[in-house]
Chain A
């Protein structure tokens, strides 16, 4: 049995409003299932359960504002855990049985309770000093993102992380919409300030001849209906994912204990909102996609972002960020890394530009690809290899399929 807590959907979140339960008491749930919708400064997000089990009790009524870490529901462990617990009870009861036969029934009940509690104990506990925990809540620092295996988390670590206090503005007389966007603005402010304070960025940039890739795409799209048409951004995301497979050092996190690479590639796609602000939902498990499914999932992700219908895992699992301001006409983007990620890739506009091919000067579709890397984790050499791989794939677009 365990409590399902309001998850932190980003280091900058303090609380969210539980909008709707998607399950009811007694329902069987499986790991990853969406069980509720919550509203945050980033829109409505579907939150997922982390284990298999049965919803024993819903603790919070819809439309309640809940702080991060507040228990929302009690999930009874699934069949496997129950079996384990039962086994434990049996062995314990047998020992007791020999000692005292008359008390077996009440004793068994007691053991059941104990066994249930054992299950809770097994969950990993974060060691953090009382004042550090309090301050983390005030600053909106997500302590589950800190590495606590090595040592106890102290106040100084929290203060170093949360240099800017995130607080929702006084809402009373403001319009709902304005409040939401202010919240997002402050959340972005906190994350970006933290990034600039903590992360020593290095920047690399390269010009990529996009003509071969665009020509290839044109031919490909000729054979496809308008619904199936593939956009250059899908190709660029695909190139990033393939390049990350070869240069995995840029995909992952910088945490207390240092550089941690991620096997899964969850690129966060920066999506600007027309009325201001920015969301970077993750294209989950992009390493398992081909170019067609990349386009399909990307399209779905962007649609859901616009509708404010993202899942909690999409808000929290990003391993790297891709930002593409090409549609707005800028040529180069020098990004600010979203902590604790290791890098951000920027794509600029694809423009006609003079290009030397051999000894001849010609006009080609040219795009600037930039990389901002965390110098604590990687050096320019790794960044250079990565941009070179992207270039290589875009010159050989058939490999992107």
Chain B
């Protein structure tokens, strides 16, 4: 998967789990939970869905490395290589 593919997969999952969010509201470098009001349940759902797509489980200890879309893309990309 390329960087862009991972990014669009993440955005697609966010939009699926929180359908009332507009794509334009999602900013690369903003904290996903805070800026989009995504609670811990929905955040876990995003990570679960990403796991199904890329086969990588994000342990709780690594949550700080997936706080923004940009960081999450890097996180998966690094582990896919």
Give A residues with C-beta under 8 Å from B: 218, 221-222, 225-227, 229, 231-233, 272-275, 298-299, 302, 327-329
Contact = CB atoms under 8 A, between A and B. Distances in A.
B39 interface: yes
B33 interface: yes
A298 B44 CA distance: 13
Interface of B: 18, 20-21, 33-34, 36-41, 44, 47-48, 51, 57-61
21 contacts: A218-B60, A218-B61, A226-B44, A226-B47, A226-B58, A227-B48, A229-B44, A231-B40, A231-B41, A232-B40, A233-B40, A233-B41, A272-B37, A273-B20, A274-B18, A274-B20, A275-B20, A299-B41, A302-B41, A327-B38, A327-B40
Contacts of B57: 225-226
- Pick from A218, A226, A229 the residue with the most CB of B within 10 Å: A226
B40 A226 contact: no
Nearest to B33: A327
Nearest to B58: A226
B70 to A, nearest CB: 21
A226 B55 CA distance: 11
Contact of B51 (A226, A299, A327): A226
Nearest to A227: B48
B27 to A, nearest CB: 16
B64 to A, nearest CB: 12
A232 B48 CA distance: 17
Contact of A329 (B34, B38, B61): B34
A274 B40 contact: no
Given A221-B60, A226-B47, A226-B57, A274 B41 contact: no
- Residue among A218, A221, A274 with the highest chain B CB neighbour number at 10 A: A274
Nearest to B38: A327
A329 B37 CA distance: 11
A274 B20 CA distance: 7
Contacts of B39: 327
Top 10 closest pairs, chain A to chain B, by CB: A327-B39, A226-B57, A231-B40, A226-B51, A302-B41, A274-B20, A226-B48, A274-B37, A275-B20, A327-B40
A273 to B, nearest CB: 8
Contacts of B41: 231, 233, 298-299, 302
A370 to B, nearest CB: 19
B34 to A, nearest CB: 7
A385 to B, nearest CB: 29
A307 to B, nearest CB: 9
Contacts of A218: 60-61
Contacts of A273: 20
Nearest to B57: A226
Most chain B CB atoms below 10 A, which of A227, A231, A298, A327: A327
B45 to A, nearest CB: 8
Nearest to A222: B59
B79 to A, nearest CB: 14
Nearest to A177: B20
Contact of A328 (B37, B51, B58): B37
A232 B39 CA distance: 12
Nearest to B47: A226
B60 A229 contact: yes
Contacts of B36: 274
Contact of B21 (A272, A274, A299): A274
A36 to B, nearest CB: 25
Contacts of A299: 41
Contact of A231 (B18, B33, B44, B61): B44
B72 to A, nearest CB: 14
A298 B41 CA distance: 9
B20 to A, nearest CB: 5
A324 to B, nearest CB: 8
A354 to B, nearest CB: 21
